[in-house]
Every structure is written in C-alpha cells, then in structure tokens.
Amino acid sequence: MYFLLFLFIIFLKANASQIQIRTLTELWENRREAQPSHLFPTRNSKIYPEFAEIPRGQSYFHLTSQNLAEKLTEIQGGREWLVHSVCSYHHLNSTFFVLNKIRGSGFSEVLIDANMTEIENKVNAMTAKRVKINYICVGANENTYSAVWHHSADFVNHYIVESGPITEIVARNDLQTFRGYYCDCFQTYQTQNLTNKAIIIWRKGFGRKSKISYGTNLEKMLNESQIWEGDHLKVVQFSNLPPKRPGLSNYSKWLLWQGEDFKWSSTSNIPKVISTNNSWPGLDSVVESHIREFNIPSISISIFRDNLEEYTVAYGYADILKNITTKPEFRYRIASVSKMITAMGMGELLTEYSINLMSPVFGEFGILRELCHSECHHVLKNLKIIHLLEHSSGAWPHTKKYEFEKMEQNQTEFLRTVLAEQIPLQYPGISHIYSNIGYILLGRIIEKVSGIEYEEYIRRKIFEPLGINGTIGKEFDDQEEVVYYSHDNANAYTSWNTTRLNSAAGWAMTAKNVAKLFNHLEQNKLRKYRWIITPSAVRWTYGRGIQLGFDGSIYHIGSLAGTEAIGFSYHNVQVAILTNLRGKNQNEQTGWMEKLCRSIAKGAKL
C-alpha cells in the first residue's frame, strides 16, 4: 500500500515538473539571463503577468521591442540555436515579449505582431518555398500574431494552418489525427466581441501521438494525464483564455501533449496473430526483421499450397495511435492488385455480353462514347478494350499522376476533363504505358454494359462464388480495416481517392482473400482466364491485368500512399503480402515482397 502511494506521489511530481505557472515577480531577478525553459504568457493580468513554464530549450522574457531585435540578431548570428516562438504580453500599459529558442541548424525568420491577413500571406509565400512554419503565437494586442519559420536543408513535413472557433478546431483535430497529422501548435484567444477562437498547426508525422487537454485546474489536468501514461506524452505547450476578472486562477486552460514518431525498438515485441493451426518460426523471423528495419506498422500474409490454406498471419499494429493489434481478418488496401480483379470482371463481361477485346471504347459506336464527344482527340476513336487491359492505350501515363489531380471532381467529371485536356502520347497498340486511368475506364465499361455498379458486379460475379469479400471506400472502421501511414508527405486519405480509382486501385481485402483470388486464377489460367495470362503484344512480361514472371509465375504488385501489396502464384503455391505503409519511394517494399513470395513458393528454407 505504501509502495503504491509512493509511486503515485512520484508520478504527480513528475507531471508537475512538466509545467508550472510562474509570476513575473518570481522570475524578475533573472530577467537578464537566458531561462532554462520555455515561457508562454498566460495574459491573465496586465499588472501581475504570469507565465506557463515548460522545461525545454531556453527563453528570454520581459523584452522590449529593441531587446527583442537584439536577441533575434544574436541568435541568427550563431549556429547552435533556432527561434522557437515569440509571444507578447502587456505589463503596466506597455507591450513586452518572450523569446523561446531551441537547439538546431539553419536560420529562423520571424514576423512580429502581424494581423491574420499578413500571417496568411506569409504562410502561403513560405510554403511555396518549402520553408517550415514552426510556431504561431497570439499577440497581446487585438488581432496580432507572431510567427516563426525555420529555413533548413532537412525534409519538410507537410503542414496545415487553420483558425476558427475553439470547438470546431478541437473537433477537426480528431480527423487530422486519423489522417496522419499531429498537433504541433495550439493557441487560444478571445476576439473583441468575446468570441473564443484557436489557431492550430498540424504537421504530417509517422504515428506521432498528440493530445489537447482542457481544464481550469492545472494540477488536476496534469494528474488526469495518468490515463495516457503508456503513450509517453509530454507537455510541450500551454494556452489559455483570459479570466473573467484579473487574478482568478480557475480560467480556461489547454495543454498540448506530444510523443515521438512511431518506431519499433530492438527490444519491443511485435504482436503476431496466427489464424491457422501451425507455426512458421523461420518466416516469422524474416518478416519481423524486415518490419523493424523499415519501421513498418504491420504486415499481413496468407499462403495457400495445393489449394489449401497453409499459413495465415498478421504482424504489428493496425492502428499505432490506438495500439490496435492487427489481425488476419483486417482489410488492407491492395492498390494496383485491384487491376487483376478488374480483368477477371472483364472476363465475365466478355462471356456474358456481345462485346469482345476489340470492341471500341470511344467514337460513334464506342461503349463509353458519352464520355468523349467532339472535344476528345481523334486518336481515341481507335482505342479498343484490349489496349486498356494491356496498358497500350498510348495515353494517360501513371507517371503524370493525372488521377491525383482535381480531387474535388467526381469520377465522371474527372474522366471528361482528362479526355478533353490530355492529348494521347501515341497511337494505341504501339507500346506499354502503364495507366491507372485506363483501368478506371474498364470499370466504367463494366458498369455501362452490365447496368450494374462496378463494385456490385465484381461482388456478384467474382467474390460471392469464391466466398470472399472486399470493399471500396470503407476505410474508417478501425475494427475491420487498418489505418494507413507513410514516411513522407504522401497521404493515404487526401492524396488519392479509392472511389475514383475503384477499378484501378480501390479494393481493400484480407491477405487470405487475395491469396484465394490468385488460387482461383491459377486453377483457371488455362481455361476461362487463358486470355488474361497471354503476354501482350507490346510487353511480354505483362498480360491483361497481370504481371508475368520469367519463371512462369503470375502476380501483381500495388503501391500507393499508405499501402504496398502483392498477390502471387507459382504453380501450386499462392501468396499474398499486404502492408499499411508505403515508404518514401514508390514500390519500396514490393521488391522484397516479390523475393519472399518466390522463396516461399519454391520451398526455400526460412
């Protein structure tokens, strides 16, 4: 009992040491020296100023405008420090400043006591130059703000700056957190008409946890943080609204807590869930080593051999912010592996309706003629279904990334824009030009000919007979589908849209279901799907929606923001490997995946 009480007291002291409220009187004697902490004015009194003290970096306080200019020049002239933030406060009818600094390389650019229009213009100009905004502090005077930018050769994470009513900003914080951003600056203020507002900076992170807590009693707010003890969060910022009358201590306060970017340590256990009644220590060791090396949140694998499920396992976290362990039952986006599914759907369509591989797509008798009228390039009148399947359309290369533009448009509007504005690079059937847009058009052909929405058609004709399921655009259920991450600024939730890329890259499913699909393709590759594995006329390592290996294997890889995937078949063995991460480079993991699939299929010792 005494031991538990002792631990609790230690916990309270540890949290209390993260932030303290200090008065100007307490700090006065050391006002000429750098303080071993950051100070943020509470602005609760113009006569007896208080500061929230957070133990990080260094600071100078009670600076006049001239003092501030001198300190900024001093910091800019050195090489050890960067300006973290500049905040102003009133004392006896005069404006003073706090300057916080942190260790770092590069140089800082500061805008002092500007209005919101000036701040927004500066933010846009600096963003265009890829200069990182570090902090925005609400000024002591009405509608004034001070902002700091860091010029650095380091990689600049994408960021979002917004201001608005506090309740709306806090509500949006949950959405941005889900999208892979963390709160890096949160400041509250009250307008002249007593409207409570906040300004916030969200920064793209990799599983970095942040929380905004609210209260009126600082000690109680710190004590309540024990519920986050396992998240290893620290207070990094303080913000408040002015009290109803000077001197009150129970005014509205907010604390910003932050952790570190997600990283597998060498000692932490990687969660593992196996759904088959066996083990494979050698494979587990190879996969877990790769997870640690590339800091991958999770990998899901399913292996079929001789038409039977041999080993299905999931490693890591489906959601690293909520510490949700992934399971074999969780869905993963499969990106361009979706193209094989669309090709199988086209096979059903060709069998059921009076169309064939040489049916025209556009032109007077084209299946999708309503998408492409007189404004389309005349070469597109020669486009056939087979050209879309083989990536020999001569148009819309994936390297141009047209499919990630004009995200405000629905799929029909987007296709009409692309068809009208993007001139084909060459005549159809001449060379292989990989195209996501070509496979989006195949999905529209399925819908036009069958009279059924693409997703429903695939479900009826392909999935239900095999006893499997898949979804498009259902990624917000954290109990059924993983959360997606990226080390760079590409964002799985805003950089691309699964609904737009439905038939090209939109499907999400379990690794087991992907392996089942490839098992079905393998069983029928010499019968109804023979045309799928036939090498195209323009690239013999690609068929019609499937990649062809030199060794007789058939497979397809997928790589888009937030996911990398492979479905693979080699004679009697099928393998699916899915992740909820794409690295800084496209296809960063798919090369390793392909090698592992071949090792498994050919019986290598793992």
- Give residue-wise pLDDT tens across range 244-257: 766 666 789 999 99
Distance, CA of 578 to CA of 276 (rounded, Å): 17
Residue 474 has a CB neighbour count (10 Å cut-off) of 12
How does pLDDT run across 330-359, given as a tens digit for each residue?
999 999 999 999 999 999 999 999 999 999
Q: What is the mean pLDDT of residues 236-243?
A: 86
Q: Cα separations (Å) of 123 from 114, 126, 130, 137, 491? A: 12, 5, 10, 14, 21
Where are the strands (E) in 417-553, listed by range? 471-472, 485-486, 507-509, 547-548
- Counting other chains too, the contacts that 459-466 makes at CB distance below 8 Å and 24 or more residues apart are 461/345, 461/348, 462/341, 462/344, 462/345, 462/348, 462/517, 466/516, 466/517, 466/520
pLDDT, residue 230, reads 63
Distance, CA of 419 to CA of 582 (rounded, Å): 30
Residues 6+ away with beta carbon under 8 Å from 380: 361, 362, 363, 372, 395, 419, 424
Strand order in the sheet with 94-103: 58-63, 94-103, 81-91
What domains are there in the chain, each with its CATH number?
Answer: 18-258 (no CATH), 274-601 (3.40.710.10)
Both tokens of residue 178?
């889900």
Residue 467 has a CB neighbour count (10 Å cut-off) of 8
How does pLDDT run across 82-108, given as a tens digit for each residue?
999 999 999 988 999 999 999 988 889
Decide the pairing of beta strands 308-319 and 332-333: unpaired
How does pLDDT run across 276-311, given as a tens digit for each residue?
999 999 999 999 999 999 999 999 999 999 999 999
Burial group, residue 52, by CB count within 10 angstroms (0-12, 13-18, 19+): buried
Tell how many helices (H) and how many strands (E) occur in the chain.
17, 28
The answer to whether 516 and 507 have CB atoms below 8 angstroms apart is: no
Secondary structure class of 147 (helix, strand, coil): strand
Lowest-confidence segment of 18-32, 454-468, 522-536 by average pLDDT: 18-32
Bridge-partner residues for 565, per DSSP? Answer: 558, 578
Distance, CA of 342 to CA of 546 (rounded, Å): 10
Give the ranges where 78-139 is alpha helix by DSSP (H). 116-128
pLDDT at 110 > cutoff 60: yes
Secondary structure class of 145 (helix, strand, coil): strand
Give backbone dihedrals phi and psi of 589, rounded to 5 degrees, phi first: -105, -20
Distance, CA of 236 to CA of 359 (rounded, Å): 63
Average pLDDT, the chain: 90
DSSP 8-state secondary structure symbol assigned to residue 542: B
Strand order in the sheet with 332-333: 332-333, 507-509, 471-472
pLDDT, residue 247, reads 62
Bridge-partner residues for 235, per DSSP? Answer: 257
E strand or H helix that includes residue 466: helix 464-466
The amino acid present at 101, given as its one-letter code, is K
pLDDT, residue 492, reads 85
pLDDT at 579 > cutoff 60: yes
Its sign, for the CA torsion 123, 129, 134, 140, is: negative
The answer to whether 529 and 522 have CB atoms below 8 angstroms apart is: no
Q: What is the pTM for the complete model shown?
A: 0.87
Both tokens of residue 518?
């490839």
The C-alpha angle with vertex 586 and arms to 436 and 537, in degrees rounded to 5, equals: 45
Q: Cα separations (Å) of 35 from 45, 62, 249, 272? A: 22, 12, 24, 47
Residues 6+ away with beta carbon under 8 Å from 153: 106
The answer to whether 388 and 342 have CB atoms below 8 angstroms apart is: no
Q: Which residue has the higher pLDDT, 7 or 217?
A: 217
Bridge-partner residues for 256, per DSSP? Answer: 212, 237
pLDDT bucket at 136, cuts 50 / 70 / 90: very high
The answer to whether 395 and 420 have CB atoms below 8 angstroms apart is: no
Q: Which residue has the higher pLDDT, 67 or 190?
A: 67
